[in-house]
Amino acid sequence: MSTATPVSPRGTLGVDTPKGPAQILANRRGLAKLLLLAVVAAVVVPLLSAKYGAAWPHALTVDVSGPLDKTSSWIIDNRDSHWLFVYFLGHLSNAVVLSVRGVYLLLLALGWTGVTAGVTLLAWRVAGWRIALTALLSFVVSGLLGMWVPTMQTLALMVVAVVVSVAVGALLGLAAGLSDRLFRILRPVLDTMQVLPAFAYLLPVVLVFGIGVPAALLATVIYAAPPMARLTALGLRGADAGVLEASASLGATGRQRLLTARLPLARKELLLGVNQTIMMALSMAVIASVIGAAGLGDRVYQALASVDVGAALAAAIPIVLLAIVMDRTTAAAGEKIGADTSAAGPAFLRGWRAWTGVAVVTAALALLGRLSGSLVWPTGWAVDIAHPVNDFKEWMVNHLYSGVPVVGGTADWAAHFTNWVLNPLRDGLTALPWYGTLLLVAALAWLIGTWRTALTAVLAMAAIGVLGVWKPSMNTLSQVLAALVVTLVLGFAIGILAAGSKRLEAILRPVLDVMQTMPQFVYLIPVVALFAVGRAPAAAAAVVYALPAVIRITTQGLRQVDPAAMESARSLGATRWQILRQVQLPLARPALLLAVNQGVVLVLAVVIIGGLVGGGALGYDVVTGLATGDLGLGLVAGVAIVCLGLMLDRVTQPTERRTTGKGA
Amino acid sequence: MSRTRTRTLAKLIGTSAVAGAVLLSLSGCGKADMTKQGSPFAAAKGSKSVTLSVQTWVGAQSNVAVAKYLLEHQLGYHVDTVQVDEIPAWDALSQGRVDAILEDWGHPDQEQRYVKDKKTITAAGGNGVTGHIGWYVPKYWADKHPEVTNWKNLNKVAQQLRTSESGNKGQLMDGSPSYVTNDKALVKNLNLNYEVVFAGSEAAQITQIQQFAKQKKPFLTYWYEPQWLFNQVPMVEVKLPKYTDACAAKGTKDPTSIDCAYPTTPLQKFFNTEFAKHGGSAAAFLKKFSWTKDDQNEVSESIASSGLSADEAAKRWVDKHPDVWKKWLPKK
């Protein structure tokens, strides 16, 4: 979305940098690291291979399924009697039910006229008439699609989830922003949580809270609060020291300084945090339909059972529209506040009259809707899109699946991709002795980062072995790598084209928005219909999901290359291709690295969805664990995915940490 | 400076503690048994309400669609549905988040725990349909090669069933991980040259079967009856070694040792115990709910291939078969 990481290439080097001394030194340092590793390897590898062999040694695994199953039984048996549940978690769950119900009843009471008017006017006040129009349109569309009630359910869930996530995140961020020690403790935790795939959160909360809204909401909060906490802490820490000193010298107390100087200075980060939290909460609210979250996600999920893409799409469109409206509104609020306050201030802050107007108009329209007799969208005004969509899908599948002249059908591509890319990669990774894999990971992570990142990466990999899921993990890793390569090739190519043409970028923007916010469940059926069951459709789903972020970051990175450097290259008579290859790409290197890193994280996030279309391996295990309540299987596979994510993140992590979320 | 900072922090923690306490007091003091809490979306219109569990397959959706339609139009209830997988559904049923499951394919572990030990779930009899799991091949293939309907000949045709996922073995396609399956053990114990490929979800499996059928390609798949897809893609069951009680007993002890076919299961209904006792006419109605495989398939077919909404499909069936459902209504 529009929050995709702003990337600033650090330093603008000259056009033709010969190998500067710093670079040579860097190269030497890399060489030294490799040499050191090689020495370690020469000593350790023969010992390990003699003792354990190439497959992950059985002696080094720990079977955790027994204790996990016992825990799960204990929870089920004690859920209605133990004090922990009855006096603490029970209240938590009850509070969730009560507040979601309260919001839901309020929305229903406002009726469709009231809700539509209220949100539209709110968007107008905060973000201008364009976004207000989008808001109006999206509510009308969700009504027309016959999705009014599920939309209200999702909205109620979202309102509560976002309020709680923002509150929890802001509190954590405030604490971390004020205390150095807390910051040091929290930072790695929050960093790690950014890499976790959403599905990994579901299993533990289901176990404790059972299926239903409380579990879904808590999973959403756990998923969506970290970006708020990170950005709050960053904003507070980044406050201008001069301003703080000035306010301290005026005799402000700690609290006054916090309220009058530090928080206002961090406004921009705070709003970015809210924006990120909303986007992540929405994507999770859909995934959480697997554990009974109801609402739009549930409609998508139910449509899947009868293999009905059209019905799934009808529920998915309101989700996409909601996401775009929420994103644009909060982003616009952020820009407004970040802009010159004195100019934007009066209209925005002193507009209490306007706000009263908003409230009055909303109330009036709500009343009007009530008098006209229908609180939910009138059923007569519904449009059926399921049939045309399904017909289109049928047509596409019939004509593309196989036997297309010259290029071959999609099923043939999928078979080639599986046979020539996925299979060799999987077999290679599985055949590689485990210590070889660990060394490779160490070398890569150390070259690109510090010894700390290398250590984290190696420990994460070792944890996978210890949990006894080495083989499926290598299978998953091969799928992730293959999907990543496809994503990067496509993403860089499209990104370069878009950076060169404003028009293409403008055309791409809504397409990318839709790709990023479309619930992944919706494209499950089309990918299977096109690529047959197996690992190829899983890879296709991953590419669709990860591509937008890669394209965006690439385009932005290339755009921000110093125009002076390009101008001087052009004046030296370089062709367009030469400028791209020798000036733009090298200068945009940090952005490209960031794109790789984001690509990895996003591709990994789809592994579990891949398990639903025949991806097998870890994704399938997590799905099985969720479906059969097998905590041992599901949790171990989930942890393994997390470990893979940590390792891949560290291996691809540019030295500078990224500051925004998963690009959702 | 550091003192004020600590104080600010302390205040912060104090405030959040207070906020937490307020949140908790919101839900009332004392005990809060979350196993007794319903869905926030239930009964929003303030009427009598029932929550039914819908499983992912269409047959189960048909039961629920018809039950829902009749409960709403004949008995004046508001019906909420929740879609969850089978085993989590048992858990939800025991907690009362769901009032009834209308089609269960046999979960002895869960039955032992919730029905016999904890008594939070009550058995409510069969729904009239008999379920059967097995291995199936498409009819167009079986007509040409009748020998493939016996497991002993499967190895001879393994090469025809190769896909890029199964490598140089034949592909036996399995579906959703939540379904009961012994296929890995069967392939191993019967020495079949096959690889079990998990489609991962029923949606993926159905899509793949339809795709194969369009091209008249041979395939071998785990499948079950009753299922609407048979109307679209006729399939023939492959004979596996006969199911015996001895084999089943061996299988319960060690699931990897199973070497015989799947049993035939009369599908069961289960109620939350509270609901069974105090569910009024809804419980009485659901207790009597029982129909045939053909009835169920008729509704499933209109949901899944004619593209009707569950509610429309139910209405169509209800209009056509009053003789069946009139018997389910409680006597006034």
For residue B223, what are the β-bridge partners? B134
Assign B157 to helix, strand or coil: helix
CA proximity to A418, closest of A609, A189, A221, A614 = A614
Of A79, A171, A629, Cβ closest to residue B35: A79
**Contact flag B39-A308 (C-beta cutoff 8 Å):** no
The percentage of chain A sitting over the pLDDT mark of 70, rounded to a whole number, equals: 85
Q: Identify the weakest region by mean pLDDT among A301-315, B102-116, B122-136.
A: A301-315
Q: What average pLDDT does range A533-550 have in this prediction?
A: 88
Smallest CA–CA distance, residue B119 to chain A, in Å, is 12
**Contact flag A214-B85 (C-beta cutoff 8 Å):** no
Ramachandran angles phi, psi of B180, nearest 5° = -65, 125
A85 chain-B contacts, CB cut-off 8 A: 33-34
- Structural domain range at position B195: 132-264
**Contact flag A94-B27 (C-beta cutoff 8 Å):** yes
Q: With respect to residue B292, please indicate whether it lies within any of the assigned structural domains.
A: yes
Question: In the listed set B229, B245, B264, which residue is the last one of a domain according to the structure?
Answer: B264
Q: Tell whether B118 and B197 lie within a shared domain.
A: no
Given a cut of 70, is residue A339 above it in pLDDT? no
Q: Does A493 touch chain B (CB under 8 A)?
A: no
Given a cut of 80, is residue A475 above it in pLDDT? yes
Q: Tell whether B202 and B222 lie within a shared domain.
A: yes
Q: What would the 3-class secondary structure string for A485-507 be?
A: HHHHHHHHHHHHHHHHCHHHHHH
Summarize pLDDT for A613-664 with one digit per residue, the tens.
Answer: 888 788 888 888 877 777 778 888 888 888 888 888 888 875 544 444 333 3
For residue A131, what are the β-bridge partners? none
CA distance linking residue B228 with residue B304, whole number of Å:
7
B176 chain-A contacts, CB cut-off 8 A: 627
Q: Identify the weakest region by mean pLDDT among A332-336, A503-507, A517-521, B124-128.
A: A332-336
**Contact flag B7-A254 (C-beta cutoff 8 Å):** yes
* Model confidence band, residue A340 (pLDDT cutoffs 50, 70, 90): very low
Q: Identify the weakest region by mean pLDDT among A8-22, B130-144, B247-261, B293-307.
A: A8-22
Q: Which residue of B has its CA nearest to A182?
A: B9
Q: Tell whether B63 and B157 lie within a shared domain.
A: no
Q: Tell whether B212 and B245 lie within a shared domain.
A: yes
B85 chain-A contacts, CB cut-off 8 A: 626-628
User: A221: exposed, middle or buried (C-beta count within 10 Å: 0-12, 13-18, 19+)?
Assistant: buried
Of A77, A95, A167, Cβ closest to residue B24: A95
Q: What is the mean pLDDT of chain A?
A: 78
Q: Tell whether B93 and B152 lie within a shared domain.
A: no
Q: What average pLDDT does range B82-88 have in this prediction?
A: 80
**Contact flag A627-B177 (C-beta cutoff 8 Å):** yes
Summarize pLDDT for A179-222 with one digit per residue, the tens.
Answer: 888 888 887 788 777 667 677 678 778 878 877 888 888 888 88
Q: What average pLDDT does range A552-578 have in this prediction?
A: 83
Interface test with A, best of B64, B201, B205, B208 (most A CBs within 10 A): B201
Interface test with A, best of B1, B27, B41, B171 (most A CBs within 10 A): B41
Q: Residue type at B294?
A: D
Ramachandran angles phi, psi of B201, nearest 5° = -155, 155
Q: With respect to residue B234, please indicate whether it lies within any of the assigned structural domains.
A: yes
> What was the pLDDT predicted at A195?
67
Q: Which residue of B has its CA nearest to A152?
A: B41
Q: With respect to residue B37, please indicate whether it lies within any of the assigned structural domains.
A: no
B4 chain-A contacts, CB cut-off 8 A: 253-255
User: B39: exposed, middle or buried (C-beta count within 10 Å: 0-12, 13-18, 19+)?
Assistant: buried
* Model confidence band, residue B113 (pLDDT cutoffs 50, 70, 90): confident
Q: Which residue is it, tokens 């099923």?
A: A411
> What is the DSSP annotation of A92-149?
HHHHHHHHHHHHHHHHHHHHHHHHHHHHHHHHHHHH-HHHHHHHHHHHHHHHHTT-HH
**Any idea what the Cα angle at residue B189 is, between residues B186 and B190, rounded to 5°?**
80
Count of domains for chain B: 2
Q: Does A210 touch chain B (CB under 8 A)?
A: yes
> What was the pLDDT predicted at B31?
61
Q: Does A254 touch chain B (CB under 8 A)?
A: yes
- Touching A: B residues 253-312, CB under 8 Å: 303-304, 307
Smallest CA–CA distance, residue B295 to chain A, in Å, is 18
Q: Does B37 touch chain A (CB under 8 A)?
A: yes
Q: With respect to residue B13, please indicate whether it lies within any of the assigned structural domains.
A: no
Q: Does B189 touch chain A (CB under 8 A)?
A: no
Q: Residue type at A201?
A: Y
Interface contacts (A, B; CB < 8 Å): 248
Q: Tell whether B140 and B252 lie within a shared domain.
A: yes
Q: Just give the CATH number of A69-375.
A: 1.10.3720.10
Of A255, A398, A616, Cβ closest to residue B198: A616
**Contact flag A532-B208 (C-beta cutoff 8 Å):** yes
- Pair B273, B31: CB distance under 8 Å: no
Q: Does B176 touch chain A (CB under 8 A)?
A: yes
CA distance linking residue B65 with residue B304, whole number of Å:
13
Question: In the listed set B264, B288, B305, which residue is the last one of a domain according to the structure?
Answer: B264
- Touching B: A residues 175-204, CB under 8 Å: 175, 178-179
> What was the pLDDT predicted at B40?
67
> What was the pLDDT predicted at A607?
82
Given a cut of 60, is residue B9 above it in pLDDT? no
Q: Where in chain A is the domain with CATH 1.10.3720.10?
A: 69-375, 401-652
> What does DSSP assign to residue B197?
E
Q: Tell whether B154 and B272 lie within a shared domain.
A: no
Interface test with A, best of B109, B164, B179, B306 (most A CBs within 10 A): B164
For residue B135, what are the β-bridge partners? B222, B238
Q: Does A241 touch chain B (CB under 8 A)?
A: no
CA distance linking residue A34 with residue A198, whole number of Å:
36
Q: How far apart are the first and last CA of chain B?
A: 78
CA distance linking residue A302 with residue A306, whole number of Å:
7
Q: Tell whether B91 and B107 lie within a shared domain.
A: yes
Task: Find the CATH number of the domain harbouring B174.
Answer: 3.40.190.100
Summarize pLDDT for A410-441 with one digit per residue, the tens.
Answer: 778 888 888 888 888 888 888 888 888 888 88
Q: With respect to residue B238, please indicate whether it lies within any of the assigned structural domains.
A: yes
Q: Tell whether B194 and B279 lie within a shared domain.
A: no
Q: Residue type at A293?
A: A
Summarize pLDDT for B18-65 with one digit per residue, the tens.
Answer: 555 555 555 455 666 665 566 666 655 445 778 888 887 788 889 999
Q: Which residue of A has its CA nearest to B53?
A: A292
> What was the pLDDT predicted at A8?
40
Question: In the listed set B264, B280, B313, which residue is the last one of a domain according to the structure?
Answer: B264
Smallest CA–CA distance, residue B174 to chain A, in Å, is 9
Q: Does B56 touch chain A (CB under 8 A)?
A: yes
Q: Tell whether B199 and B139 lie within a shared domain.
A: yes
Given a cut of 50, is residue A111 above it in pLDDT? yes
Summarize pLDDT for B246-301 with one digit per residue, the tens.
Answer: 888 887 788 888 888 888 888 999 998 888 888 888 889 999 999 888 888 889 88
> What was the pLDDT predicted at A377?
65
Q: Residue type at A575?
A: T
Q: Which residue of A has its CA nearest to B25?
A: A91
Q: With respect to residue B112, please indicate whether it lies within any of the assigned structural domains.
A: yes
CA distance linking residue A643 with residue A197, whole number of Å:
11
Q: Which residue of B has its CA nearest to A617?
A: B198
Q: Tell whether B272 and B226 lie within a shared domain.
A: no
Q: Does A629 touch chain B (CB under 8 A)?
A: yes
> What was the pLDDT predicted at B67?
93
Q: What is the mean pLDDT of chain B?
A: 82
Q: Tell whether B221 and B309 lie within a shared domain.
A: no
A613 chain-B contacts, CB cut-off 8 A: 199-201, 204
More confident residue, A287 or A483: A483
Q: Residue type at A104?
A: Y
Summarize pLDDT for A114-141 with one digit per residue, the tens.
Answer: 888 888 888 888 777 888 888 888 888 8
> What was the pLDDT predicted at B136?
93
Of A89, A525, A535, Cβ closest to residue B165: A535
Q: Which fold has domain A401-652?
A: MetI-like fold (1.10.3720)
Q: Does B11 touch chain A (CB under 8 A)?
A: yes
